[in-house]
Amino acid sequence: MTTPTATPAHGPEAPPAEAPDDTARLSAAVDFVRNQDTATLLRLLLPGLDGPELRALADRCRFAHAALLVFPADGPSLRRQLTACGLDADAVAQPSVVVRERLALRHRREAAALDVRILRPEVRCADGERRVVEMFTLAVPPGSELADVAVHERAGDHEAHIAFEVGRPDPLVLRGLCETFAQHGAVADGGGYNPHEDGTVFYFTAPADSKAGYRRVELYASGDHRSVLTPHLAAYQARQPAETLLRLMTGAWTTQALAACAQLRLPEAMDARNDGGPRAVIGVDALARAVDADPENLATLLRYLAMLGVVSAEPGGFRLTGLGELLRTDSPGSMRSLALMYGGAFYQSFALLASAVRTGQTGFEQLFGENHFDYFARQPALAERFDQSMAASARMFDPLPSHPVIAAAGAVPGRRTVVDVAGGTGELLGRILAARPALHGVLLERAHVVEAARRHLDAAGVGARCSYRVGDFADVPASGDVYVLSRVLHDWDDDRCREILGHCARAMPAHADLLIVERLLPPDGSPSLATAWDLHMMCNVGGRERRADHYAALLDGAGLRLVGHSPLPLGASVLHARKAAPAAAARLPEPSRQG
């Protein structure tokens, strides 16, 4: 971006020493926004555009703003700069998490120490369009240790960019725009999805022969377009290995921040509402008193949680988001227990991941001296939390009551029975029975879990249609019509899985169906939740996730055959199996009484 040498006149009060440079830069940005139009700017930005391409781009996106980062000494200094450039001095400023994180990375500073704000004062444009100057601000008082940051950023203008807003965005249009930019020399330069604004941003570095005066370009599309954003970010990250690796290394901080949020019960403390409407903004001091925390340290945690979208940072404090609500104990679909498990015992054992890889022994066993099932059995409070954490992923069960096998069983006259093997506290069985009033349920579990399941199913209003059996896998009841194994097999090695499936096969009548709920590893190695859970199972449980063909082989070894599988929410799948022909059934393993 070219900065004019002239400095606009100021009011009677002289600004701080560093203000003239920023005022000149801001004035140049205002003039740019006022006098450009979409078609002219696209022609300057991508000089190789031909007529049809230019018309196509101009029809699909419009010039929306120019952006820059300024460093006022304080609030009054910023107001003087805005007034001097003919902008609204009362424009509302919001925290800018994205720019703050980029500054922290560039200057190797703690993000919490950088109070970066964003405001968007409107500019009166020559062509009658409504455009804004997007201003990022970082306060740098005289003598501040951030002075070197201001000098470096003014010289490099790293955050300066121009932005185009895409009208009527859809994946096909966005892919076409990104491809056109790339074909004419623009290079992917990051981006992201902002859940607060429900908007997707694509950044580019302008072509070397661009005459637009800005090196960085933004495409903004309302809505969630992460399917298009993913390959765009992959192209960017391939050129930023150090930054990408650094972000990956901080994943543990996110786990602990979410666990701390749950431990402190911040979501409960932030649930105050204004007259039953949106949640109120709550100040840090008030929150600190409510959760008995140090205000300064709590503010640091809240800023990080705002970056994650768990809370939103707003003038006067913070507001709980829909994402953060899932960490409330009493929220529908609460994931609080899951956050505490992943930030607690399971988190501790991941410190022994390298040892688990070397030795074949789970990190959990090395840390606690026994497998997690036995350890939890001796820790009632932890066992209850584990059972609650399993229920936290219950959204994956939503489609199962409508599965053709369940629907067919519920439509047949006479009593039909669904047997949930190792069914936990009955979350899945309860959903099936509630949706299918003609069905009866049987839940097989350990004694202490059966009592919790009985309470849960009674509370769900389906307890009268459910019976319970205390036991292990060798006690699978016979004569059921549908058998369910939900998130069981991934806990065990292949031999134990064949044994468990063998118990099921022996109990199943010839007409019965078996539904298996698990996450499936993708056959092509593409990114998936199952790949992450595979690592977790190895380190903490001693089990594994598997591909569909792997499960088919296990089923075959137990006298069963895989009929098919279909996707479920949260990266899960349901596999449908039935008994194999009698010749295959002869290969069933011998019974075992091991739990």
The helix/strand/coil state of 236 is helix
The helix/strand/coil state of 216 is strand
Residue type for position 32: F
DSSP labels for 375-441?
A: HHHT-HHHHHHHHHHHHTTGGGGTTGGGSHHHHHHHHSSS-EEEEEET-TTSHHHHHHHHH-TTEEE
Token output for 411: 């439509």
How many residues would you count in the chain? Answer: 595
Q: Which residues contact 400 (CB under 8 A, 6 or more apart)?
A: 406, 428, 431, 432, 515, 517, 568, 574
* 576 is a catalytic site residue: no
- Produce one character per residue of 63-90: b if its CB has 16 or more CB atoms within 10 Å, e if not: bbbbbbbbbbbeeebbbbbbebbebeee
Q: Please tell me which residue in 440, 456, 490, 565 is annotated as part of the active site.
A: 490
Token output for 351: 């410190």
Residue type for position 49: L
- Nearest to residue 78, comparing CAs of 122, 38, 136, 9? 136
- Nearest to residue 515, comparing CAs of 574, 439, 474, 430? 574
Can you tell me the distance from the alpha carbon of 406 to that of 400, in angstroms, rounded to the nearest whole number?
A: 7
Can you tell me the distance from the alpha carbon of 256 to that of 262, in angstroms, rounded to the nearest whole number?
A: 10
SS3 readout for 146-211: CHHHHHHHHHHCCCCEEEEEECCCCHHHHHHHHHHHHHCCCEEEEEEEECCCCEEEEEEECCCCCC
Token output for 240: 């930023």
Query: Helices 19-35 and 147-156, interaxial angle, to 10°?
Result: 30
The backbone region for 213, taken as left when phi is positive above 0, alpha when psi lies in -120 to 50, beta otherwise, is left
Token output for 419: 């047997």
What burial class does residue 456 get, using C-beta atoms within 10 Å of its C-beta: 0-12 exposed, 13-18 middle, 19+ buried?
buried
Q: Which helix (H) or strand (E) holds 338?
A: helix 336-342
Catalytic residue annotation: 490
